[in-house]
Protein backbone atom coordinates (compact mmCIF):
# COMPACT_ATOMS: atom_id res chain seq x y z
CA UNK A 1 0.00 0.00 0.00
CA UNK A 2 1.42 3.37 -1.06
CA UNK A 3 1.62 6.15 1.54
CA UNK A 4 -1.09 8.86 1.13
CA UNK A 5 1.45 11.63 0.55
CA UNK A 6 2.96 9.73 -2.38
CA UNK A 7 -0.47 9.07 -3.92
CA UNK A 8 -1.24 12.77 -3.54
CA UNK A 9 2.08 13.74 -5.15
CA UNK A 10 1.39 11.51 -8.16
CA UNK A 11 -2.11 12.98 -8.55
CA UNK A 12 -0.75 16.53 -8.37
CA UNK A 13 1.85 15.71 -10.98
CA UNK A 14 -0.75 14.23 -13.33
CA UNK A 15 -2.95 17.33 -13.00
CA UNK A 16 0.01 19.68 -13.43
CA UNK A 17 1.21 17.99 -16.61
CA UNK A 18 -2.20 17.42 -18.22
CA UNK A 19 -2.62 20.92 -19.63
CA UNK A 20 0.93 21.07 -21.01
CA UNK A 21 0.45 17.68 -22.67
CA UNK A 22 -2.91 18.58 -24.21
CA UNK A 23 -2.12 22.17 -25.20
CA UNK A 24 1.55 22.07 -26.17
CA UNK A 25 3.35 18.75 -26.27
CA UNK A 26 1.10 16.06 -27.74
CA UNK A 27 0.81 17.58 -31.21
CA UNK A 28 4.48 18.50 -31.46
CA UNK A 29 5.48 15.01 -30.30
CA UNK A 30 3.21 13.34 -32.85
CA UNK A 31 4.60 15.39 -35.72
CA UNK A 32 8.15 14.31 -34.86
CA UNK A 33 7.70 10.65 -33.93
CA UNK A 34 5.51 9.38 -36.72
CA UNK A 35 5.96 5.68 -36.06
CA UNK A 36 7.43 2.88 -38.12
CA UNK A 37 5.68 3.61 -41.38
CA UNK A 38 2.34 3.42 -43.15
CA UNK A 39 -0.01 0.46 -43.04
CA UNK A 40 -2.55 -0.34 -45.78
CA UNK A 41 -6.12 0.51 -44.72
CA UNK A 42 -8.54 0.39 -47.68
CA UNK A 43 -9.16 1.50 -51.25
CA UNK A 44 -11.36 4.33 -52.47
CA UNK A 45 -12.26 5.86 -55.83
CA UNK A 46 -9.63 7.98 -57.51
CA UNK A 47 -10.05 11.75 -57.15
CA UNK A 48 -8.33 14.46 -59.22
CA UNK A 49 -5.01 15.32 -57.63
CA UNK A 50 -4.36 11.84 -56.15
CA UNK A 51 -0.85 10.47 -56.57
CA UNK A 52 -0.90 7.97 -59.43
CA UNK A 53 1.68 5.87 -57.56
CA UNK A 54 -1.01 4.72 -55.10
CA UNK A 55 -3.46 3.53 -57.77
CA UNK A 56 -4.46 -0.08 -57.13
CA UNK A 57 -4.45 -1.43 -60.67
CA UNK A 58 -5.83 -4.85 -59.72
CA UNK A 59 -8.88 -3.42 -57.97
CA UNK A 60 -9.32 -0.82 -60.71
CA UNK A 61 -9.39 -3.56 -63.36
CA UNK A 62 -11.94 -5.65 -61.41
CA UNK A 63 -14.22 -2.71 -60.62
CA UNK A 64 -13.97 -1.11 -64.04
CA UNK A 65 -12.89 2.22 -62.53
CA UNK A 66 -9.95 3.96 -60.92
CA UNK A 67 -9.22 3.17 -57.27
CA UNK A 68 -6.37 4.21 -54.99
CA UNK A 69 -4.92 2.63 -51.85
CA UNK A 70 -5.30 4.43 -48.54
CA UNK A 71 -2.83 4.07 -45.72
CA UNK A 72 -2.90 4.81 -42.02
CA UNK A 73 0.07 5.55 -39.85
CA UNK A 74 1.48 2.50 -38.10
CA UNK A 75 2.82 3.87 -34.82
CA UNK A 76 3.53 1.27 -32.16
CA UNK A 77 6.34 3.41 -30.80
CA UNK A 78 8.12 2.68 -27.56
CA UNK A 79 9.36 5.51 -25.38
CA UNK A 80 11.95 4.41 -22.83
CA UNK A 81 12.83 6.66 -19.90
CA UNK A 82 16.35 6.07 -18.59
CA UNK A 83 16.56 8.21 -15.44
CA UNK A 84 19.68 8.94 -13.39
CA UNK A 85 18.86 8.52 -9.66
CA UNK A 86 22.43 8.89 -8.35
CA UNK A 87 23.48 11.01 -5.37
CA UNK A 88 24.18 14.09 -7.47
CA UNK A 89 20.53 14.19 -8.52
CA UNK A 90 19.54 14.79 -4.89
CA UNK A 91 20.79 18.37 -5.14
CA UNK A 92 18.88 21.56 -5.79
CA UNK A 93 19.60 25.17 -4.82
CA UNK A 94 16.14 26.29 -5.92
CA UNK A 95 12.79 24.94 -4.77
CA UNK A 96 13.26 21.54 -6.45
CA UNK A 97 15.91 18.84 -6.47
CA UNK A 98 17.26 17.70 -9.80
CA UNK A 99 15.60 14.30 -9.26
CA UNK A 100 12.21 15.96 -8.64
CA UNK A 101 12.67 17.92 -11.87
CA UNK A 102 13.57 14.67 -13.65
CA UNK A 103 10.36 13.07 -12.33
CA UNK A 104 8.25 15.92 -13.67
CA UNK A 105 9.92 15.80 -17.08
CA UNK A 106 9.48 12.02 -17.18
CA UNK A 107 5.79 12.49 -16.33
CA UNK A 108 5.35 14.97 -19.18
CA UNK A 109 7.03 12.66 -21.67
CA UNK A 110 5.15 9.59 -20.42
CA UNK A 111 1.70 11.20 -20.57
CA UNK A 112 2.52 12.65 -24.00
CA UNK A 113 3.51 9.20 -25.28
CA UNK A 114 0.37 7.56 -23.86
CA UNK A 115 -1.85 10.24 -25.40
CA UNK A 116 -0.35 9.18 -28.73
CA UNK A 117 -1.04 5.51 -27.89
CA UNK A 118 2.66 4.69 -27.50
CA UNK A 119 4.24 2.39 -24.96
CA UNK A 120 6.38 3.66 -22.07
CA UNK A 121 9.16 1.86 -20.20
CA UNK A 122 11.41 2.95 -17.34
CA UNK A 123 14.78 2.20 -15.82
CA UNK A 124 16.31 4.25 -13.01
CA UNK A 125 20.00 3.80 -12.36
CA UNK A 126 22.96 4.73 -10.17
CA UNK A 127 26.00 2.46 -10.37
CA UNK A 128 23.39 -0.29 -10.67
CA UNK A 129 19.89 -0.65 -12.08
CA UNK A 130 17.52 0.50 -9.35
CA UNK A 131 14.15 0.08 -11.08
CA UNK A 132 13.04 -1.55 -14.31
CA UNK A 133 9.50 -1.44 -15.69
CA UNK A 134 8.96 -3.03 -19.13
CA UNK A 135 7.15 -0.87 -21.72
CA UNK A 136 3.34 -0.90 -21.74
CA UNK A 137 0.50 1.39 -22.74
CA UNK A 138 -2.15 3.16 -20.71
CA UNK A 139 -2.66 5.74 -18.00
CA UNK A 140 -2.50 3.22 -15.17
CA UNK A 141 0.91 2.06 -16.35
CA UNK A 142 2.18 5.65 -16.62
CA UNK A 143 1.07 6.36 -13.06
CA UNK A 144 3.12 3.36 -11.95
CA UNK A 145 6.15 4.71 -13.83
CA UNK A 146 5.82 8.12 -12.17
CA UNK A 147 5.28 6.56 -8.74
CA UNK A 148 8.49 4.55 -9.11
CA UNK A 149 10.52 7.68 -9.91
CA UNK A 150 9.02 9.73 -7.08
CA UNK A 151 9.36 6.85 -4.61
CA UNK A 152 12.89 5.89 -5.57
CA UNK A 153 15.21 4.99 -2.70
CA UNK A 154 18.39 4.12 -4.57
CA UNK A 155 20.76 1.57 -3.08
CA UNK A 156 23.69 3.05 -4.98
CA UNK A 157 25.03 6.61 -4.93
CA UNK A 158 27.53 6.73 -7.79
CA UNK A 159 26.69 7.25 -11.45
CA UNK A 160 27.50 4.65 -14.08
CA UNK A 161 25.73 5.62 -17.28
CA UNK A 162 27.60 3.04 -19.34
CA UNK A 163 26.13 0.14 -17.32
CA UNK A 164 22.64 1.60 -17.70
CA UNK A 165 23.06 1.85 -21.47
CA UNK A 166 24.39 -1.70 -21.66
CA UNK A 167 21.37 -2.88 -19.64
CA UNK A 168 19.03 -1.19 -22.12
CA UNK A 169 20.71 -2.96 -25.03
CA UNK A 170 20.08 -6.30 -23.35
CA UNK A 171 16.48 -5.86 -22.22
CA UNK A 172 15.00 -3.94 -25.16
CA UNK A 173 15.88 -5.10 -28.64
CA UNK A 174 13.19 -3.34 -30.71
CA UNK A 175 13.80 0.25 -31.76
CA UNK A 176 12.76 2.80 -29.14
CA UNK A 177 12.94 6.52 -28.47
CA UNK A 178 15.18 6.72 -25.39
CA UNK A 179 15.08 9.81 -23.18
CA UNK A 180 18.27 9.71 -21.10
CA UNK A 181 17.52 12.03 -18.16
CA UNK A 182 20.63 12.92 -16.16
CA UNK A 183 22.91 15.70 -14.95
CA UNK A 184 25.66 13.92 -16.91
CA UNK A 185 28.28 14.26 -14.18
CA UNK A 186 29.77 11.08 -15.60
CA UNK A 187 32.14 10.12 -18.39
CA UNK A 188 33.53 7.13 -20.25
CA UNK A 189 30.26 6.05 -21.91
CA UNK A 190 30.64 7.64 -25.34
CA UNK A 191 31.21 4.36 -27.21
CA UNK A 192 28.23 2.65 -25.58
CA UNK A 193 26.03 5.71 -26.15
CA UNK A 194 26.92 5.56 -29.83
CA UNK A 195 25.94 1.86 -29.97
CA UNK A 196 22.61 2.55 -28.28
CA UNK A 197 21.92 5.51 -30.58
CA UNK A 198 22.55 3.35 -33.64
CA UNK A 199 19.97 0.82 -32.49
CA UNK A 200 17.52 3.23 -30.86
CA UNK A 201 17.10 7.00 -30.91
CA UNK A 202 18.68 8.64 -27.87
CA UNK A 203 17.58 12.07 -26.67
CA UNK A 204 19.63 13.33 -23.70
CA UNK A 205 17.79 15.52 -21.21
CA UNK A 206 20.53 17.43 -19.38
CA UNK A 207 19.41 18.67 -15.95
CA UNK A 208 21.57 21.26 -14.22
CA UNK A 209 21.32 23.53 -11.19
CA UNK A 210 22.41 27.20 -11.31
CA UNK A 211 24.72 26.80 -8.31
CA UNK A 212 26.55 23.97 -10.04
CA UNK A 213 27.31 26.15 -13.03
CA UNK A 214 28.92 29.04 -11.15
CA UNK A 215 30.27 29.14 -7.60
CA UNK A 216 28.84 32.10 -5.60
CA UNK A 217 30.75 34.06 -2.97
CA UNK A 218 29.42 32.55 0.28
CA UNK A 219 32.58 32.64 2.38
CA UNK A 220 33.93 29.46 3.99
CA UNK A 221 31.50 26.67 3.10
CA UNK A 222 31.60 22.88 3.67
CA UNK A 223 30.76 21.06 0.43
CA UNK A 224 29.71 17.42 0.42
CA UNK A 225 30.14 15.22 -2.64
CA UNK A 226 26.67 13.62 -2.87
CA UNK A 227 28.05 10.50 -4.51
CA UNK A 228 31.18 9.83 -2.41
CA UNK A 229 30.06 11.52 0.81
CA UNK A 230 33.41 13.34 1.09
CA UNK A 231 33.20 16.76 2.76
CA UNK A 232 35.58 19.54 1.73
CA UNK A 233 35.85 23.03 3.25
CA UNK A 234 35.98 25.59 0.43
CA UNK A 235 36.75 29.31 0.70
CA UNK A 236 34.26 30.61 -1.89
CA UNK A 237 35.30 34.21 -1.18
CA UNK A 238 38.64 33.44 -2.85
CA UNK A 239 38.44 34.75 -6.42
CA UNK A 240 41.01 32.23 -7.63
CA UNK A 241 38.99 29.33 -6.18
CA UNK A 242 35.86 30.51 -7.96
CA UNK A 243 37.76 30.91 -11.23
CA UNK A 244 39.17 27.37 -10.99
CA UNK A 245 35.69 26.00 -10.24
CA UNK A 246 34.05 27.89 -13.12
CA UNK A 247 36.78 26.74 -15.53
CA UNK A 248 36.29 23.11 -14.48
CA UNK A 249 32.55 23.41 -15.11
CA UNK A 250 33.11 24.96 -18.54
CA UNK A 251 35.58 22.20 -19.48
CA UNK A 252 33.18 19.48 -18.31
CA UNK A 253 30.23 20.96 -20.20
CA UNK A 254 32.35 21.48 -23.32
CA UNK A 255 33.47 17.83 -23.29
CA UNK A 256 29.87 16.65 -22.84
CA UNK A 257 28.50 18.86 -25.63
CA UNK A 258 31.37 17.93 -27.93
CA UNK A 259 30.47 14.25 -27.40
CA UNK A 260 26.85 14.94 -28.35
CA UNK A 261 27.94 16.84 -31.48
CA UNK A 262 30.31 14.06 -32.49
CA UNK A 263 27.52 11.48 -32.18
CA UNK A 264 25.03 13.85 -33.86
CA UNK A 265 22.75 13.78 -30.84
CA UNK A 266 20.65 16.86 -30.05
CA UNK A 267 20.16 17.30 -26.27
CA UNK A 268 17.41 19.05 -24.32
CA UNK A 269 18.76 21.33 -21.56
CA UNK A 270 16.74 21.92 -18.40
CA UNK A 271 17.62 24.08 -15.38
CA UNK A 272 16.05 23.38 -11.99
CA UNK A 273 13.58 26.05 -10.92
CA UNK A 274 12.89 27.13 -14.50
CA UNK A 275 10.11 26.38 -16.99
CA UNK A 276 10.88 22.96 -18.48
CA UNK A 277 7.89 22.78 -20.84
CA UNK A 278 9.30 25.43 -23.18
CA UNK A 279 12.63 23.62 -23.82
CA UNK A 280 10.71 20.41 -24.59
CA UNK A 281 8.35 22.18 -27.01
CA UNK A 282 11.27 24.01 -28.62
CA UNK A 283 13.10 20.71 -29.11
CA UNK A 284 10.10 19.02 -30.76
CA UNK A 285 9.63 22.01 -33.05
CA UNK A 286 13.28 21.91 -34.10
CA UNK A 287 12.96 18.21 -34.80
CA UNK A 288 9.70 18.69 -36.69
CA UNK A 289 11.35 21.18 -39.05
CA UNK A 290 14.15 18.71 -39.78
CA UNK A 291 11.67 15.87 -40.34
CA UNK A 292 9.63 17.93 -42.79
Alpha-carbon span 46 to 55, nearest angstrom: 8
Pair 83, 181: CB distance under 8 Å: yes
What's the distance, CA 238 to chain centroid?
A: 38
Give how many domains the chain has, as a whole number: 2
Domain span including residue 53: 37-74
Are 70 and 114 contained in the same domain?
Answer: no
pLDDT at position 233: 87
Q: Are 185 and 126 in contact (CB under 8 A)?
A: no
Mark which of 47, 74, 101 sits at the end of a domain. Answer: 74
Tell me, what's the pLDDT at 117? Answer: 84
* pTM for the structure as a whole: 0.79
CATH number of the structural domain spanning residue 117: 3.40.50.410
User: Hey, is 35 helix, strand or coil?
Assistant: coil
Which pLDDT does position 281 carry in this prediction?
Answer: 85
59 and 200 fall within a common domain: no
Indicate the SS3 state at residue 235: strand
* Domain co-membership, 222 together with 101: yes
Same domain, 177 and 262: yes
Mean pLDDT, 10 residues at a time, the chain of 292 residues = 67 70 72 57 75 80 78 70 90 80 88 86 93 90 86 85 94 90 93 95 93 84 76 87 90 95 94 86 80 50
Say yes or no: 191 and 59 in one domain: no
Residues 268, 231 share a domain: yes
Statement to judge: residues 83 and 115 lie in one domain: yes
Q: Are residues 232 and 143 in the same domain?
A: yes
Please report the pLDDT score of residue 89 as a whole number. 86
Q: Where does the chain have alpha helices with state H?
A: 4-20, 26-32, 57-63, 98-115, 139-150, 161-171, 190-199, 210-213, 239-262, 277-291
Q: What is the pLDDT of residue 107?
A: 86
Same-domain check for residues 211 and 254? yes
Residue 91 has a pLDDT of: 79
pLDDT at 259: 96
What is the structure's pLDDT at 7?
A: 67
- Listed in order, strand segments (DSSP E) in 49-93 are 67-74, 78-84
pLDDT of residue 3: 64
**159 and 254 fall within a common domain:** yes
Looking at the fold, whether 55 and 192 belong to one and the same domain comes out as no
Residue 261 pLDDT:
96
- Looking at the fold, whether 92 and 44 belong to one and the same domain comes out as no
Amino acid sequence: MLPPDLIEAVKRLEIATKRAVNDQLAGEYHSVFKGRGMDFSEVREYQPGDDIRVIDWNVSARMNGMFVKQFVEERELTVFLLVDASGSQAFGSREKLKLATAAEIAALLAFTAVKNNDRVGLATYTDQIETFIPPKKGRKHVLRVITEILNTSPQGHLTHTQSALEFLLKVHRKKAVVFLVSDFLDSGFEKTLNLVNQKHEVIPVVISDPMEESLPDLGLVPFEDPESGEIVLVDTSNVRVREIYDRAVLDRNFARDQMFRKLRIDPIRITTGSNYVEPLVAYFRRRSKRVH
